[in-house]
Protein backbone atom coordinates (compact mmCIF):
# COMPACT_ATOMS: atom_id res chain seq x y z
CA UNK A 1 0.00 0.00 0.00
CA UNK A 2 2.83 2.41 0.77
CA UNK A 3 4.26 1.91 -2.74
CA UNK A 4 0.87 2.61 -4.30
CA UNK A 5 0.60 5.84 -2.33
CA UNK A 6 4.08 7.00 -3.36
CA UNK A 7 3.41 6.22 -7.03
CA UNK A 8 0.15 8.15 -6.77
CA UNK A 9 1.96 11.19 -5.45
CA UNK A 10 4.49 11.07 -8.29
CA UNK A 11 1.81 10.60 -10.94
CA UNK A 12 -0.30 13.47 -9.57
CA UNK A 13 2.71 15.78 -9.54
CA UNK A 14 3.29 15.40 -13.30
CA UNK A 15 -0.33 15.69 -14.46
CA UNK A 16 -0.44 18.52 -17.00
CA UNK A 17 -2.38 21.56 -15.84
CA UNK A 18 -4.45 21.42 -19.02
CA UNK A 19 -6.07 18.31 -17.55
CA UNK A 20 -7.16 20.37 -14.54
CA UNK A 21 -10.22 21.93 -16.18
CA UNK A 22 -12.04 24.73 -14.37
CA UNK A 23 -15.58 26.06 -14.42
CA UNK A 24 -16.64 28.23 -17.33
CA UNK A 25 -17.29 31.95 -16.74
CA UNK A 26 -21.07 31.57 -17.03
CA UNK A 27 -21.13 28.99 -14.22
CA UNK A 28 -18.88 31.12 -12.04
CA UNK A 29 -21.21 34.07 -12.61
CA UNK A 30 -24.16 31.94 -11.43
CA UNK A 31 -22.24 31.16 -8.25
CA UNK A 32 -21.33 34.81 -7.73
CA UNK A 33 -24.93 35.94 -8.06
CA UNK A 34 -26.15 33.27 -5.64
CA UNK A 35 -23.39 33.91 -3.11
CA UNK A 36 -23.09 37.69 -3.25
CA UNK A 37 -26.69 38.74 -3.96
CA UNK A 38 -28.86 35.99 -2.46
CA UNK A 39 -26.79 35.05 0.57
CA UNK A 40 -28.23 33.34 3.64
CA UNK A 41 -24.92 33.23 5.50
CA UNK A 42 -25.87 35.70 8.24
CA UNK A 43 -29.07 33.83 9.09
CA UNK A 44 -27.04 30.63 9.36
CA UNK A 45 -24.53 32.41 11.61
CA UNK A 46 -27.37 33.78 13.77
CA UNK A 47 -28.69 30.26 14.34
CA UNK A 48 -25.22 28.95 15.22
CA UNK A 49 -24.45 31.79 17.65
CA UNK A 50 -27.31 33.70 19.27
CA UNK A 51 -29.78 30.81 19.02
CA UNK A 52 -27.41 28.00 19.97
CA UNK A 53 -25.21 29.75 22.55
CA UNK A 54 -21.62 28.72 23.16
CA UNK A 55 -20.67 25.41 21.56
CA UNK A 56 -18.13 23.88 23.92
CA UNK A 57 -17.56 20.27 22.88
CA UNK A 58 -20.35 18.02 24.21
CA UNK A 59 -22.25 20.97 25.69
CA UNK A 60 -25.95 21.64 25.25
CA UNK A 61 -25.11 24.50 22.89
CA UNK A 62 -23.04 22.21 20.69
CA UNK A 63 -25.95 19.77 20.49
CA UNK A 64 -28.33 22.57 19.48
CA UNK A 65 -25.94 23.81 16.78
CA UNK A 66 -25.30 20.31 15.42
CA UNK A 67 -29.03 19.61 15.16
CA UNK A 68 -29.59 22.93 13.36
CA UNK A 69 -26.69 22.28 10.97
CA UNK A 70 -28.04 18.85 10.06
CA UNK A 71 -31.51 20.26 9.45
CA UNK A 72 -30.45 23.27 7.38
CA UNK A 73 -28.09 21.20 5.24
CA UNK A 74 -30.95 18.80 4.48
CA UNK A 75 -33.35 21.68 3.80
CA UNK A 76 -30.88 23.17 1.33
CA UNK A 77 -30.56 19.95 -0.65
CA UNK A 78 -27.70 17.97 0.88
CA UNK A 79 -28.30 14.28 1.58
CA UNK A 80 -27.12 11.71 4.10
CA UNK A 81 -26.88 14.41 6.76
CA UNK A 82 -25.95 12.85 10.07
CA UNK A 83 -24.61 13.71 13.50
CA UNK A 84 -21.88 11.10 13.46
CA UNK A 85 -20.02 9.74 16.51
CA UNK A 86 -16.26 9.62 16.06
CA UNK A 87 -15.11 8.10 19.36
CA UNK A 88 -14.91 8.96 23.03
CA UNK A 89 -14.32 12.61 23.85
CA UNK A 90 -15.36 13.15 27.45
CA UNK A 91 -17.76 15.12 29.59
CA UNK A 92 -19.91 17.99 28.44
CA UNK A 93 -20.01 21.12 30.59
CA UNK A 94 -22.36 24.09 30.89
CA UNK A 95 -22.37 27.21 33.03
CA UNK A 96 -25.78 27.67 34.67
CA UNK A 97 -25.15 30.61 37.00
CA UNK A 98 -22.47 33.23 37.58
CA UNK A 99 -22.49 36.08 40.11
CA UNK A 100 -19.35 37.85 41.29
CA UNK A 101 -19.01 41.14 43.21
CA UNK A 102 -16.52 42.74 45.56
CA UNK A 103 -18.20 43.45 48.91
CA UNK A 104 -15.27 44.89 50.91
CA UNK A 105 -13.80 47.45 51.20
CA UNK A 106 -16.78 48.59 49.09
CA UNK A 107 -19.29 47.10 46.66
CA UNK A 108 -18.39 46.67 43.02
CA UNK A 109 -20.08 44.32 40.50
CA UNK A 110 -17.53 42.34 38.48
CA UNK A 111 -17.37 40.43 35.22
CA UNK A 112 -15.52 37.12 35.15
CA UNK A 113 -15.76 33.85 33.26
CA UNK A 114 -15.31 30.41 34.84
CA UNK A 115 -12.95 28.32 32.77
CA UNK A 116 -14.46 25.20 31.23
CA UNK A 117 -14.92 21.92 33.11
CA UNK A 118 -14.54 23.63 36.49
CA UNK A 119 -16.68 23.02 39.57
CA UNK A 120 -19.10 25.57 41.03
CA UNK A 121 -19.27 27.09 44.51
CA UNK A 122 -22.21 25.03 45.81
CA UNK A 123 -24.22 28.14 46.59
CA UNK A 124 -23.45 31.77 47.44
CA UNK A 125 -20.14 32.27 49.23
CA UNK A 126 -18.69 35.43 50.79
CA UNK A 127 -14.95 34.93 50.93
CA UNK A 128 -11.81 36.89 51.69
CA UNK A 129 -9.07 37.24 49.11
CA UNK A 130 -5.64 35.76 49.83
CA UNK A 131 -2.54 36.69 47.83
CA UNK A 132 -0.29 33.75 46.92
CA UNK A 133 3.27 34.30 45.75
CA UNK A 134 4.76 30.87 45.11
CA UNK A 135 7.60 30.37 42.65
CA UNK A 136 8.09 26.66 43.32
CA UNK A 137 6.80 23.76 45.40
CA UNK A 138 8.92 24.81 48.41
CA UNK A 139 7.62 28.39 48.66
CA UNK A 140 4.10 27.09 48.05
CA UNK A 141 4.27 25.20 51.37
CA UNK A 142 4.20 28.54 53.22
CA UNK A 143 0.48 28.80 52.36
CA UNK A 144 -0.44 25.36 53.61
CA UNK A 145 -3.40 25.54 56.00
CA UNK A 146 -4.36 29.11 54.94
CA UNK A 147 -6.61 28.49 51.93
CA UNK A 148 -9.86 27.23 53.45
CA UNK A 149 -12.79 29.45 52.42
CA UNK A 150 -10.54 31.84 50.52
CA UNK A 151 -10.45 33.27 47.01
CA UNK A 152 -6.89 32.93 45.72
CA UNK A 153 -5.18 35.64 43.70
CA UNK A 154 -1.65 35.26 42.38
CA UNK A 155 0.94 37.95 43.05
CA UNK A 156 2.08 38.75 39.54
CA UNK A 157 2.99 41.80 37.48
CA UNK A 158 0.14 42.62 35.10
CA UNK A 159 1.08 46.19 34.20
CA UNK A 160 -1.44 47.51 31.72
CA UNK A 161 0.08 49.24 28.72
CA UNK A 162 -1.92 51.28 26.26
CA UNK A 163 -1.90 50.15 22.65
CA UNK A 164 -1.69 52.67 19.83
CA UNK A 165 -2.53 50.13 17.13
CA UNK A 166 -6.02 49.52 15.76
CA UNK A 167 -7.64 46.25 16.83
CA UNK A 168 -8.80 45.43 13.31
CA UNK A 169 -6.63 45.26 10.20
CA UNK A 170 -6.49 43.83 6.72
CA UNK A 171 -3.44 42.42 5.00
CA UNK A 172 -1.47 45.00 3.04
CA UNK A 173 -0.29 44.33 -0.49
CA UNK A 174 3.25 44.14 0.89
CA UNK A 175 2.31 41.47 3.46
CA UNK A 176 0.56 39.38 0.81
CA UNK A 177 3.51 39.72 -1.56
CA UNK A 178 5.83 38.47 1.19
CA UNK A 179 3.59 35.42 1.68
CA UNK A 180 3.63 34.68 -2.03
CA UNK A 181 7.40 34.98 -2.19
CA UNK A 182 7.96 32.43 0.59
CA UNK A 183 9.82 29.27 -0.38
CA UNK A 184 8.18 25.89 -0.14
CA UNK A 185 8.66 24.38 3.32
CA UNK A 186 10.37 21.05 3.84
CA UNK A 187 7.95 18.12 3.90
CA UNK A 188 7.98 16.38 7.26
CA UNK A 189 8.80 12.69 7.12
CA UNK A 190 7.61 12.03 10.67
CA UNK A 191 3.87 12.37 11.34
CA UNK A 192 2.80 14.16 14.51
CA UNK A 193 0.98 11.34 16.26
CA UNK A 194 -1.56 11.67 19.04
CA UNK A 195 0.86 9.88 21.38
CA UNK A 196 3.64 12.39 20.60
CA UNK A 197 1.29 15.31 21.22
CA UNK A 198 0.15 13.81 24.52
CA UNK A 199 3.78 13.34 25.58
CA UNK A 200 4.45 17.04 24.96
CA UNK A 201 1.36 17.98 26.96
CA UNK A 202 2.47 15.82 29.88
CA UNK A 203 5.95 17.36 29.79
CA UNK A 204 4.41 20.84 29.88
CA UNK A 205 2.27 19.84 32.85
CA UNK A 206 5.38 18.74 34.75
CA UNK A 207 7.38 21.87 33.99
CA UNK A 208 7.96 25.09 35.92
CA UNK A 209 5.03 27.48 36.43
CA UNK A 210 2.40 25.02 35.23
CA UNK A 211 3.54 22.43 37.77
CA UNK A 212 3.32 25.01 40.58
CA UNK A 213 -0.16 26.00 39.41
CA UNK A 214 -1.28 22.37 39.43
CA UNK A 215 0.11 21.88 42.96
CA UNK A 216 -1.64 25.06 44.13
CA UNK A 217 -4.98 23.93 42.72
CA UNK A 218 -4.58 20.52 44.36
CA UNK A 219 -3.87 22.20 47.69
CA UNK A 220 -6.84 24.53 47.19
CA UNK A 221 -9.20 21.59 46.63
CA UNK A 222 -7.79 19.69 49.61
CA UNK A 223 -8.16 22.65 51.99
CA UNK A 224 -11.52 23.87 50.69
CA UNK A 225 -10.69 27.15 48.94
CA UNK A 226 -13.56 28.78 47.06
CA UNK A 227 -11.95 29.84 43.77
CA UNK A 228 -8.91 31.23 42.04
CA UNK A 229 -8.63 34.46 40.02
CA UNK A 230 -6.47 34.62 36.88
CA UNK A 231 -5.87 37.18 34.16
CA UNK A 232 -3.53 38.28 31.37
CA UNK A 233 -2.56 41.73 30.15
CA UNK A 234 -4.67 41.29 27.01
CA UNK A 235 -7.80 40.95 29.20
CA UNK A 236 -8.69 44.62 29.09
CA UNK A 237 -11.34 47.11 27.98
CA UNK A 238 -14.15 44.64 28.66
CA UNK A 239 -12.62 41.77 26.69
CA UNK A 240 -11.85 38.61 28.67
CA UNK A 241 -10.10 35.67 27.06
CA UNK A 242 -11.18 32.44 28.76
CA UNK A 243 -10.96 28.84 27.64
CA UNK A 244 -9.92 25.51 29.13
CA UNK A 245 -9.89 24.92 32.85
CA UNK A 246 -8.35 21.46 32.80
CA UNK A 247 -9.23 17.80 32.30
CA UNK A 248 -12.53 16.68 30.75
CA UNK A 249 -12.33 12.88 30.39
CA UNK A 250 -15.20 10.86 31.79
CA UNK A 251 -13.25 9.67 34.84
CA UNK A 252 -11.61 13.03 35.58
CA UNK A 253 -12.86 14.93 38.66
CA UNK A 254 -14.20 18.47 38.30
CA UNK A 255 -11.44 21.07 38.01
CA UNK A 256 -10.94 23.71 40.68
CA UNK A 257 -12.95 26.86 39.99
CA UNK A 258 -10.71 29.25 38.02
CA UNK A 259 -12.16 32.63 37.05
CA UNK A 260 -10.72 34.66 34.18
CA UNK A 261 -11.23 38.38 34.75
CA UNK A 262 -10.08 41.71 33.35
CA UNK A 263 -6.61 42.92 34.18
CA UNK A 264 -8.06 46.18 35.54
CA UNK A 265 -10.27 44.42 38.12
CA UNK A 266 -7.57 41.87 38.93
CA UNK A 267 -5.04 44.60 39.61
CA UNK A 268 -7.54 46.41 41.84
CA UNK A 269 -7.95 43.27 43.95
CA UNK A 270 -4.22 42.68 44.08
CA UNK A 271 -3.25 46.24 45.04
CA UNK A 272 -5.87 46.39 47.80
CA UNK A 273 -4.98 43.00 49.26
CA UNK A 274 -1.21 43.67 49.19
CA UNK A 275 -1.76 47.00 50.97
CA UNK A 276 -3.18 45.13 53.96
CA UNK A 277 -6.80 46.04 53.16
CA UNK A 278 -9.34 43.28 53.74
CA UNK A 279 -10.85 42.35 50.39
CA UNK A 280 -13.98 40.21 50.25
CA UNK A 281 -16.26 39.10 47.45
CA UNK A 282 -19.59 37.37 46.90
CA UNK A 283 -19.37 34.46 44.50
CA UNK A 284 -22.12 32.13 43.28
CA UNK A 285 -21.23 29.78 40.41
CA UNK A 286 -23.27 26.80 39.26
CA UNK A 287 -21.89 24.43 36.62
CA UNK A 288 -23.34 21.31 35.04
CA UNK A 289 -21.54 18.22 33.77
CA UNK A 290 -22.91 15.83 31.14
CA UNK A 291 -21.60 12.31 31.67
CA UNK A 292 -24.22 9.98 30.16
CA UNK A 293 -22.79 10.16 26.64
CA UNK A 294 -19.04 10.67 26.35
CA UNK A 295 -18.91 10.28 22.56
CA UNK A 296 -17.80 13.16 20.35
CA UNK A 297 -19.94 14.04 17.31
CA UNK A 298 -19.26 15.60 13.91
CA UNK A 299 -21.91 16.77 11.44
CA UNK A 300 -21.51 15.17 7.99
CA UNK A 301 -23.58 15.69 4.81
CA UNK A 302 -22.99 15.49 1.08
CA UNK A 303 -24.05 16.32 -2.45
CA UNK A 304 -23.68 13.04 -4.38
CA UNK A 305 -21.55 12.94 -7.50
CA UNK A 306 -23.29 12.26 -10.82
CA UNK A 307 -20.50 10.99 -13.08
CA UNK A 308 -20.54 7.16 -13.19
CA UNK A 309 -16.74 7.05 -13.21
CA UNK A 310 -16.07 9.81 -10.66
CA UNK A 311 -18.97 9.76 -8.19
CA UNK A 312 -17.06 7.61 -5.67
CA UNK A 313 -14.30 10.22 -5.51
CA UNK A 314 -14.70 12.87 -2.82
CA UNK A 315 -14.09 16.59 -2.45
CA UNK A 316 -14.52 17.86 1.10
CA UNK A 317 -15.06 21.22 2.75
CA UNK A 318 -15.22 21.82 6.47
CA UNK A 319 -14.83 23.93 9.58
CA UNK A 320 -15.01 23.27 13.28
CA UNK A 321 -18.40 23.73 14.90
CA UNK A 322 -17.27 23.77 18.53
CA UNK A 323 -16.14 26.85 20.43
CA UNK A 324 -15.00 27.95 23.87
CA UNK A 325 -17.46 29.03 26.53
CA UNK A 326 -17.21 32.76 27.14
CA UNK A 327 -18.72 34.03 23.86
CA UNK A 328 -20.84 32.34 21.21
CA UNK A 329 -17.88 31.41 19.03
CA UNK A 330 -18.86 33.73 16.17
CA UNK A 331 -15.44 34.22 14.57
CA UNK A 332 -14.10 30.97 16.03
CA UNK A 333 -15.70 29.30 14.28
CA UNK A 334 -19.36 29.89 13.50
CA UNK A 335 -18.05 32.03 10.65
CA UNK A 336 -16.29 29.03 9.11
CA UNK A 337 -19.20 26.66 9.71
CA UNK A 338 -21.73 29.16 8.35
CA UNK A 339 -19.81 29.80 5.12
CA UNK A 340 -19.36 26.07 4.51
CA UNK A 341 -23.09 25.42 5.02
CA UNK A 342 -23.75 28.41 2.73
CA UNK A 343 -21.31 27.06 0.11
CA UNK A 344 -23.29 23.80 0.00
CA UNK A 345 -26.50 25.84 -0.44
CA UNK A 346 -24.96 27.92 -3.24
CA UNK A 347 -23.91 24.82 -5.18
CA UNK A 348 -27.41 23.34 -4.99
CA UNK A 349 -29.21 26.64 -5.62
CA UNK A 350 -27.06 27.35 -8.68
CA UNK A 351 -28.32 24.09 -10.18
CA UNK A 352 -24.88 22.58 -10.74
CA UNK A 353 -24.54 18.79 -10.54
CA UNK A 354 -21.01 17.85 -9.43
CA UNK A 355 -19.19 14.95 -11.06
CA UNK A 356 -17.54 13.96 -7.79
CA UNK A 357 -19.26 13.74 -4.43
CA UNK A 358 -18.99 16.91 -2.36
CA UNK A 359 -18.98 16.31 1.39
CA UNK A 360 -19.05 18.74 4.30
CA UNK A 361 -17.61 18.03 7.74
CA UNK A 362 -18.40 20.24 10.73
CA UNK A 363 -15.98 19.10 13.39
CA UNK A 364 -16.22 18.87 17.16
CA UNK A 365 -13.43 19.23 19.73
CA UNK A 366 -11.11 21.15 17.42
CA UNK A 367 -10.29 23.37 20.38
CA UNK A 368 -8.98 20.38 22.32
CA UNK A 369 -6.59 19.32 19.55
CA UNK A 370 -8.40 18.75 16.22
CA UNK A 371 -9.96 15.67 17.80
CA UNK A 372 -13.10 15.42 15.66
CA UNK A 373 -11.39 15.86 12.30
CA UNK A 374 -8.43 13.64 13.21
CA UNK A 375 -10.81 10.87 14.27
CA UNK A 376 -12.88 11.26 11.09
CA UNK A 377 -9.79 11.04 8.90
CA UNK A 378 -8.53 7.97 10.76
CA UNK A 379 -11.93 6.26 10.71
CA UNK A 380 -12.61 7.05 7.05
CA UNK A 381 -9.30 7.01 5.19
CA UNK A 382 -7.05 4.66 7.17
CA UNK A 383 -7.26 0.90 7.69
CA UNK A 384 -6.92 -1.11 10.90
CA UNK A 385 -3.13 -0.93 10.59
CA UNK A 386 -3.27 2.88 10.17
CA UNK A 387 -2.35 2.61 6.49
CA UNK A 388 -4.19 4.38 3.63
CA UNK A 389 -7.28 2.50 2.47
CA UNK A 390 -9.30 2.59 -0.77
CA UNK A 391 -11.15 5.76 0.27
CA UNK A 392 -7.78 7.46 0.71
CA UNK A 393 -6.97 6.72 -2.95
CA UNK A 394 -10.28 8.21 -4.12
CA UNK A 395 -10.02 11.41 -2.11
CA UNK A 396 -9.36 14.61 -4.02
CA UNK A 397 -9.00 17.55 -1.62
CA UNK A 398 -10.22 19.30 1.54
CA UNK A 399 -10.79 23.05 2.00
CA UNK A 400 -11.04 24.64 5.45
CA UNK A 401 -12.05 27.99 6.96
CA UNK A 402 -11.01 28.84 10.52
CA UNK A 403 -9.33 32.24 10.76
CA UNK A 404 -12.21 34.49 11.70
CA UNK A 405 -14.60 36.71 9.79
CA UNK A 406 -12.07 38.30 7.40
CA UNK A 407 -12.49 37.78 3.67
CA UNK A 408 -10.33 35.39 1.65
CA UNK A 409 -7.13 36.95 0.28
CA UNK A 410 -5.72 33.71 -1.12
CA UNK A 411 -4.75 30.23 0.00
CA UNK A 412 -1.93 28.37 1.76
CA UNK A 413 -0.72 25.62 -0.59
CA UNK A 414 1.05 23.67 2.19
CA UNK A 415 4.15 23.11 0.06
CA UNK A 416 2.10 21.57 -2.78
CA UNK A 417 3.61 23.27 -5.83
CA UNK A 418 1.34 21.57 -8.38
CA UNK A 419 -1.79 22.53 -6.43
CA UNK A 420 -0.48 26.09 -6.05
CA UNK A 421 -0.38 26.55 -9.83
CA UNK A 422 -3.98 25.35 -10.11
CA UNK A 423 -5.16 27.63 -7.32
CA UNK A 424 -3.63 30.62 -9.08
CA UNK A 425 -5.84 30.04 -12.11
CA UNK A 426 -8.92 29.52 -9.95
CA UNK A 427 -8.34 32.73 -8.01
CA UNK A 428 -8.08 34.77 -11.22
CA UNK A 429 -11.87 35.01 -11.24
CA UNK A 430 -11.86 36.63 -7.78
CA UNK A 431 -9.01 39.14 -8.02
CA UNK A 432 -11.68 41.85 -8.10
CA UNK A 433 -12.85 40.66 -4.66
CA UNK A 434 -9.35 40.92 -3.18
CA UNK A 435 -8.37 37.24 -3.48
CA UNK A 436 -5.24 36.53 -5.49
CA UNK A 437 -2.40 35.34 -3.24
CA UNK A 438 -1.09 31.77 -3.31
CA UNK A 439 1.68 30.94 -0.88
CA UNK A 440 3.55 27.67 -0.60
CA UNK A 441 3.79 28.25 3.15
CA UNK A 442 2.20 25.96 5.70
CA UNK A 443 -0.35 27.17 8.20
CA UNK A 444 -1.26 25.07 11.20
CA UNK A 445 -3.52 24.67 14.19
CA UNK A 446 -6.72 23.88 12.36
CA UNK A 447 -8.53 20.95 10.79
CA UNK A 448 -6.88 20.81 7.36
CA UNK A 449 -3.83 19.48 9.23
CA UNK A 450 -5.77 16.26 9.97
CA UNK A 451 -5.89 15.60 6.22
CA UNK A 452 -2.45 16.94 5.33
CA UNK A 453 -0.91 14.79 8.06
CA UNK A 454 -1.90 11.54 6.32
CA UNK A 455 -0.92 12.61 2.81
CA UNK A 456 -4.29 13.98 1.70
CA UNK A 457 -4.43 17.43 0.09
CA UNK A 458 -5.81 19.73 2.79
CA UNK A 459 -5.81 23.51 2.55
CA UNK A 460 -6.69 26.58 4.62
CA UNK A 461 -7.51 29.90 2.97
CA UNK A 462 -5.66 33.12 3.77
CA UNK A 463 -8.07 35.49 5.51
CA UNK A 464 -7.79 39.09 6.61
CA UNK A 465 -7.09 39.03 10.37
CA UNK A 466 -9.55 41.86 11.18
CA UNK A 467 -9.65 41.72 15.05
CA UNK A 468 -9.32 37.96 15.44
CA UNK A 469 -6.23 37.84 17.68
CA UNK A 470 -6.71 41.21 19.32
CA UNK A 471 -10.38 41.06 20.31
CA UNK A 472 -12.44 37.95 19.52
CA UNK A 473 -10.36 34.75 19.54
CA UNK A 474 -11.49 32.69 22.59
CA UNK A 475 -13.00 35.73 24.28
CA UNK A 476 -16.35 36.98 25.56
CA UNK A 477 -16.40 39.34 22.56
CA UNK A 478 -16.57 36.48 20.08
CA UNK A 479 -20.21 37.17 19.27
CA UNK A 480 -22.44 37.77 16.24
CA UNK A 481 -21.90 41.56 16.14
CA UNK A 482 -18.22 41.03 15.31
CA UNK A 483 -19.04 39.19 12.07
CA UNK A 484 -18.62 41.05 8.76
CA UNK A 485 -21.41 40.23 6.35
CA UNK A 486 -19.77 41.19 3.06
CA UNK A 487 -16.61 39.28 3.96
CA UNK A 488 -18.58 36.12 4.76
CA UNK A 489 -20.46 36.38 1.45
CA UNK A 490 -17.15 36.61 -0.37
CA UNK A 491 -15.75 33.58 1.48
CA UNK A 492 -18.76 31.39 0.73
CA UNK A 493 -18.71 32.35 -2.94
CA UNK A 494 -15.03 31.53 -3.38
CA UNK A 495 -15.29 28.29 -1.39
CA UNK A 496 -18.26 27.14 -3.52
CA UNK A 497 -16.28 27.83 -6.71
CA UNK A 498 -13.11 26.09 -5.50
CA UNK A 499 -15.19 23.11 -4.38
CA UNK A 500 -16.93 22.77 -7.74
CA UNK A 501 -13.69 23.26 -9.64
CA UNK A 502 -12.20 20.34 -7.71
CA UNK A 503 -15.35 18.26 -8.22
CA UNK A 504 -15.52 18.88 -11.98
CA UNK A 505 -11.88 18.71 -13.06
CA UNK A 506 -10.49 15.75 -14.96
CA UNK A 507 -8.14 14.49 -12.28
CA UNK A 508 -7.88 14.32 -8.52
CA UNK A 509 -6.02 17.18 -6.88
CA UNK A 510 -2.25 16.55 -7.08
CA UNK A 511 -0.57 15.43 -3.88
CA UNK A 512 2.74 16.40 -2.35
Every domain of the chain and the residues it spans = 26-89+294-504, 93-164+209-289
What's the CATH fold of domain 93-164+209-289? Glucose Oxidase; domain 1 (3.50.30)
Q: What is the pLDDT of residue 188?
A: 57
Show Cβ contacts of residue 251 under 8 Å, excluding neighbours closer than 6 positions: none
CB 180 within 8 A of CB 439: yes
Estimate to the nearest angstrom the gap between the alpha carbon of 120 and the chain centroid.
26
Instruction: Find the mean pLDDT for residues 202-218.
Output: 77
Closest CA to 503 of 23, 7, 6, 142: 23
The stretches of 286-389 forming alpha helices (DSSP H) are: 335-349, 371-381
Predicted TM-score (pTM) of this structure:
0.92
CB 13 within 8 A of CB 511: yes
For the segment 147-200, what is each residue's pLDDT rounded down to a tens digit? 999 999 999 999 988 889 999 999 999 999 999 999 888 765 445 555 555 555
Confidence grade of residue 7 (pLDDT, cut at 50, 70, 90): very low
Instruction: Find the mean pLDDT for residues 391-411.
Output: 98
Phi (first) and psi of residue 280, to 5 degrees: -130, 160
Q: What is the pLDDT of residue 147?
A: 98
Q: What is the pLDDT of residue 423?
A: 98
User: What is the domain class of 26-89+294-504 according to CATH?
Assistant: alpha beta
Q: What share of the chain is helix, strand, coil (3-state, %, to 5)?
A: 40, 20, 40
Q: What is the pLDDT of residue 15?
A: 45
Query: Does residue 252 carry a pLDDT above 80?
Result: yes
Q: What is the DSSP string of 350-361?
A: TT---SSEEEEE
CB 461 within 8 A of CB 401: yes
* Adjacent-strand bridge partners of 462: 410
Phi (first) and psi of residue 312, to 5 degrees: -85, -5
What is the pairing mode between strands 314-320 and 357-363? parallel
**How far are the Cα atoms of 41, 78, 125 from residue 72, in angstroms, in the given order?**
12, 9, 44
Confidence grade of residue 66 (pLDDT, cut at 50, 70, 90): very high
For the segment 329-350, what is each residue's pLDDT rounded down to a tens digit? 999 999 999 999 999 999 999 9
Question: What's the distance, Cα to Cα, between the start and end of the chain in Å?
Answer: 17
For the segment 98-151, what is each residue's pLDDT rounded down to a tens digit? 999 999 999 999 999 999 999 999 999 999 999 999 989 899 999 999 999 999
Instruction: Find the mean pLDDT for residues 246-250.
Output: 95
For the segment 366-376, what is each residue's pLDDT rounded down to a tens digit? 999 999 999 99
Ramachandran bin of 301, using left for φ above 0, alpha for ψ from -120 to 50, beta for the remaining angles = beta
Query: Does residue 4 carry a pLDDT above 70?
Result: no
| Rounded (10°) angle between helices 60-75 and 41-48 | 150
**What mean pLDDT is reported for the chain?**
92
Show Cβ contacts of residue 277 under 8 Å, excluding neighbours closer than 6 positions: 105
Q: What is the pLDDT of residue 22?
A: 82
Q: What is the pLDDT of residue 20?
A: 58
H or E stretch including 292?
A: none
H or E stretch including 272?
A: helix 263-274
Q: What is the pLDDT of residue 21?
A: 67
| pLDDT > 70: percent of the chain | 92
Instruction: Find the mean pLDDT for residues 434-444.
Output: 95
Q: What is the pLDDT of residue 161?
A: 87
Contacts by 27-32, CB closer than 8 A, 24 or more apart: 27/350, 27/352, 27/500, 28/429, 28/497, 30/350, 30/351, 30/352, 31/346, 31/347, 31/350, 31/352, 31/493, 31/496, 31/497, 31/500, 32/493
Amino acid sequence: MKNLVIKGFILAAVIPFSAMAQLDPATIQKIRIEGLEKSQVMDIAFNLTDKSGNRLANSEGYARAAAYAKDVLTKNGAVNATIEPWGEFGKGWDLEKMYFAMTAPYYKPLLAWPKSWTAGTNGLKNAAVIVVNAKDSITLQAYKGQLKGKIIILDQDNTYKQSFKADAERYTDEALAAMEAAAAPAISRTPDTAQQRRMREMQAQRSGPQRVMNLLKAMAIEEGAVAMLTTATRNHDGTIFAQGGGAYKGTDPANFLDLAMSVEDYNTFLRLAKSGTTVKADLDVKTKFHTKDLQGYNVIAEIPGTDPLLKDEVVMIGAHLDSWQSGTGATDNASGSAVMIEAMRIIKAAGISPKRTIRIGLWSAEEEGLLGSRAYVKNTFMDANNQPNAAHQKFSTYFNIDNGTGKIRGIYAQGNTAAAAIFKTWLAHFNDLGAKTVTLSNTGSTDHIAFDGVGLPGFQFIQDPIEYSTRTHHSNMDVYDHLMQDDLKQIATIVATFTLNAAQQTNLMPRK
